[in-house]
Amino acid sequence: MSSTRSDRLDALRGAAIVWMAAFHFSFDLNHFGWIRQDFYRDPVWTWQRACIVSLFLFCAGGGQALALQAGQTTQRFWRRWAQVAGCALLVTAGSWFMFPKSWISFGVLHGIALMLVLLRLGLARLPAAPLLALAAVAVALPALVQHPLFDNRWTNWIGLVTAKPITEDYVPVLPWLGPMLLGFVVTRRWPALWQGRAPQPLAQLGRWSLSFYMVHQPVLIGVLMAVNAVR
C-alpha cells in the first residue's frame, strides 16, 4: 500500500490548526475577561470560525480520497475513526465540566466522525458530478428548510434547526458535509495538487492534528488560569 500522506495537504491542515489555536486563544482571553468580544454574533469571529471549520473538513475529505486511492484497509480506517470518535466523547465530557449550560453534543469531531462514515460507506462510490451536486445541496438546504423538530440535542446534528443551539461548538451534517465532499472530489480528481514540497513545520503539525486539537485548549486555559492566579 502506498503512502496516504501528502505534505501539502498536511501543511494546509497545519495552517488551519494554527488559525484555530489563535482563534481559541482569543476566545479564552475573552472568557477570562482580558478582552471584550462577541464570539457568537460578531462577523469578525463567526466568519473566521466558518473558514477554520471548512478548512478542516476540506482536508478530511481530501485525506479520505488519498487513503482510498492508496488502498487503505477497512481495519485501518475504523482504527483511525475510533480515535476521532473517542476524542469527540472526551470533548463532550470536558465541555460539560467547563460549560455545563452550553456543553458540546455535536461539535467538529462529532461531525467529522459521522461524515467520514457517510463518505466511506457510500458517498465515495459516487462520481464527481453527483457529489458536487450533493455538496451544493448540503450547503444550501439549511437556509431553505428549518423545522422545530430539529431544535433539540437528539436531532440538531442534522442541521435543519430554526436557531443555533446554545453550545460551544456546533458542526452538524448540514451544511458541513459540503466542504468535506468538495475536498474529496478535488483530491480524487486532481491528486497532483497535493504532490510536492510544503513547509515542514506546518506539515508536521498537520500530521498530529487530532493530538494538538485535544491538548491545546487545556494548555491555553491552564496557562491563563495560572497567570490569573498570580496577578
150 occurs within a structural domain: yes
188 occurs within a structural domain: yes
197 occurs within a structural domain: yes
Report d(CA 77, CA 75) in Å as an integer: 5
- Quote the pTM value: 0.93
Q: What is the pLDDT of residue 4?
A: 65
**Phi, psi of 122, deg, nearest 5:** -170, -55
204 occurs within a structural domain: yes
2 occurs within a structural domain: no
pLDDT tens figures, 11-64: 999 999 999 999 999 999 998 899 999 998 999 999 999 999 999 999 999 999
Q: What is the pLDDT of residue 1?
A: 42
Q: Which parts of the chain have pLDDT scores under 50?
A: 1-2
Report d(CA 34, CA 225) in Å as an integer: 12
Q: What is the pLDDT of residue 98?
A: 83
Q: What is the pLDDT of residue 14?
A: 97
Q: What is the pLDDT of residue 3?
A: 59
Report d(CA 12, CA 133) in Å as an integer: 25
1 occurs within a structural domain: no
205 occurs within a structural domain: yes
Task: Give 48's contacts (C-beta < 8 A, 6+ positions apart).
Answer: 19, 23
For the chain, first and last CA: distance in Å? 55
Bridge partners of 170? 106
> How many domains would you assign to the chain?
1
68 occurs within a structural domain: yes
Q: What is the pLDDT of residue 2?
A: 47
- Domain containing 102 equals 7-230
Bridge partners of 106? 170
